[in-house]
Amino acid sequence: MVSWSDGYVTEIEYTHGFYRELAPAHLQFALLCAGLSRPPDHGFTWAELGCGQGFTANLVAAANPQSRFFATDFNPSHIATARRFQSEVALDNVTFSENSFEQYIEADLPPLDYICLHGIYSWISSENRAHIVEFMRRHLKPSGVVYISYNCYPGWAAIMPLQRLIYEQGQASGGPLLDRVDQALQFVQKLSESDTGYFKANPLAAQRLNQLQKQNRHYLAHEYFNDHWHPLFVTQVAAELSPAKLMFAASANLLDHIDALNIPQSARELFASVKDPLQRQLVRDYLINQQFRRDLFIRGAVRLSPLEQLEKLRQQGFVLTQLAANIPFKFQSPLGEVALQADIYRPLIDALSEKPTTLGQLTQHSGLKQLSLERLLEALMVLVGANWAAPTLPEADLAQRRQSTERFNRAVLEQSQYSADLQFLASPLIGSGVGLDRIDQLILLGLIRKQEAAAFAWQILSAQKQTLVKDGQPLKTPEENLQELRHKETVLVQQRLPLLKQLQVVA
């Protein structure tokens, strides 16, 4: 008898993650940067396949209340959790279904503008991948967009034996799945510290193993313990999606759009000689040893004229999602550490700190007039790609979005009294999520309730026998914990709160 799980991990639940690339405003900006027409910014239809706990679907539904959202997962525990939170927020524009991919093909859905799946495609069998493609063929609109992320070659080639060893050790061990995850990691760690030929020949595998030791065990169970685990080449994915009339459009990662950040100088002439768009993606993956792709495919691409693209870009608004003082002015790219040019990024960040601003308005800003529109756009793509800024939604319907996200955020804050599962609040300005950890959520909830916030947070944490950690060490006394909470309250009020207000996460 075939299990209903079809080899997929169901013994434990997946994490309550939020993935910003699934937010429609982010997808629209990526398409616009690629010069492609995009679905409308409101009144669209959006579906997620393999939605897990449904947190991303609930958040984007709250932040885009005039659009319709659909999400499915075959794990009943996941759907029960998603529906419970949906009920708490009183969201009437999202529908959760407990269906396999094969069953969801027959779902009664409107034609879809977006179909999204994060990570799922490389974790499932070829039969289920075929069901997904058939779902896309039947339900995606002409000019509809698919967001699909997946483990890929060649970056996983050296690490695949590590995944297989962890999987096999987990299968051979007994007991609950989380215990088996720990047992497998402990065994493989000891093996890596021995005179092992595989780890000597593959230093990347040892680095990955060290990273795994620090990661959420629920995530690792789903990433490493599925029976079907298949990294794919981008050309394979494109071939599999072709029966749904889909063609590769762009990367959802804005940093991928900038060749100077990804292609070594010595290879740029050779890379430029590759004219086929899909082959360019494949060659690019080899140049940077890509391990994970975030792709956009489109069903019937409509390319914008240069003038139309320019006008839409000039109208696009942006806002910082990180406090300006905390932007490090450097980030890691496939070519190594990249330092931002202060003469470009400092006035740009200062301008965005003042208020949400369109690209057209930025071209007229006194500190930015010397920059070409193309250079300014590239700088904005870097800020968005690094998650220091985000594209904004139009002001129309902002009041309705604010009402919906206020309910969502209050539900998240209330939940912080019981767990640290939900780490994001919703912004009506960007139609997406803003990270805020549990401690800050508890302090913010105390402020909203007009209580002494640090004492309020400590009352909840101490009742659950939890303490704070400072400099890697747990704080032992109530006085130490209260002192640290008061410090965190000061930082929240002086630094995070102004940013949350600009993003309209809080009033």
What pairs with residue 378 in β-bridges? Answer: none
1 pLDDT above the threshold of 80: no
The mean per-residue pLDDT over the stretch 412-422 comes to: 96
Distance CA 310, CA 35 (A): 9
Q: What share of the chain has pLDDT > 90, as a percent?
A: 79
pTM of the shown model: 0.91
The string of pLDDT tens digits covering residues 124-160 is: 999 999 999 999 999 999 999 999 999 999 999 988 8
The mean per-residue pLDDT over the stretch 226-249 comes to: 94
For residues 85 and 408, the answer to whether their CB atoms sit within 8 Å is: no
For residues 266 and 219, the answer to whether their CB atoms sit within 8 Å is: no
Distance CA 68, CA 82 (A): 16
Lowest mean pLDDT among 103-107, 287-291, 422-426, 471-475: 471-475
For residues 18 and 433, the answer to whether their CB atoms sit within 8 Å is: yes
Q: How far from each other are the two terminal CA atoms of the chain, in whole angstroms?
A: 55
Give the H or E element holding residue 248.
Answer: strand 247-251
Q: Locate the DSSP E strands across 101-238.
A: 112-118, 140-151
Give me the pLDDT at residue 8, please: 46
Distance CA 296, CA 361 (A): 29
Distance CA 23, CA 55 (A): 12
Distance CA 451, CA 454 (A): 9
Give me the pLDDT at residue 186, please: 87
- Indicate the pLDDT class of residue 222, thresholds 50, 70 and 90: low
Distance CA 14, CA 128 (A): 19
| Residue found by looking up tokens 């490493």 in the block | 224
- Indicate the pLDDT class of residue 184, thresholds 50, 70 and 90: confident
The string of pLDDT tens digits covering residues 270-294 is: 999 999 999 999 999 999 999 999 9
Give me the pLDDT at residue 10, please: 47
Which amino acid, one-letter code, is at 392?
Answer: T
Coil, helix or strand for 463?
Answer: helix
Give me the pLDDT at residue 225, please: 74
For residues 13 and 218, the answer to whether their CB atoms sit within 8 Å is: yes
Give the H or E element holding residue 323.
Answer: none
Distance CA 265, CA 260 (A): 8
- 28, 39, 106, 133, 147 from 138: Cα distances, Å: 22, 18, 9, 9, 16
Q: Is the peptide bond before 154 cis (omega within 30 degrees of 0)?
A: yes
Angle at 39 between CA 35 and CA 41, to 5 degrees: 105
Give me the pLDDT at residue 428, please: 98
Exposed e or buried b per residue across 27-48, where buried means at least 16 C-beta atoms within 10 angstroms of its C-beta: bbbbbbbbbbbbbebbebbbbb
The string of pLDDT tens digits covering residues 82-96 is: 999 999 999 999 999
Lowest mean pLDDT among 19-28, 189-198, 296-305: 189-198
What is the DSSP pairing of strand 68-72 with strand 94-97? parallel
Distance CA 400, CA 393 (A): 13
The mean per-residue pLDDT over the stretch 358-372 comes to: 93
Burial class (CB in 10 A: 0-12, 13-18, 19+), 182: middle
- What are 344's two structure tokens? 């470009």
Distance CA 454, CA 459 (A): 9
2 pLDDT above the threshold of 60: no
What is the DSSP pairing of strand 317-320 with strand 357-358? antiparallel
DSSP 474-505: E--SHHHHHHHHHHHHHHIIIIIHHHHHHTTS
Residue that wins the pLDDT comparison between 366 and 29? 29
The CATH homologous superfamily to which domain 20-153+231-298 belongs is Vaccinia Virus protein VP39 (3.40.50.150)
Domain boundaries, the chain: 20-153+231-298, 160-224, 317-391, 398-502
| Residue 236 dihedral angles phi and psi, to the nearest 5° | -65, -45
Distance CA 484, CA 481 (A): 5
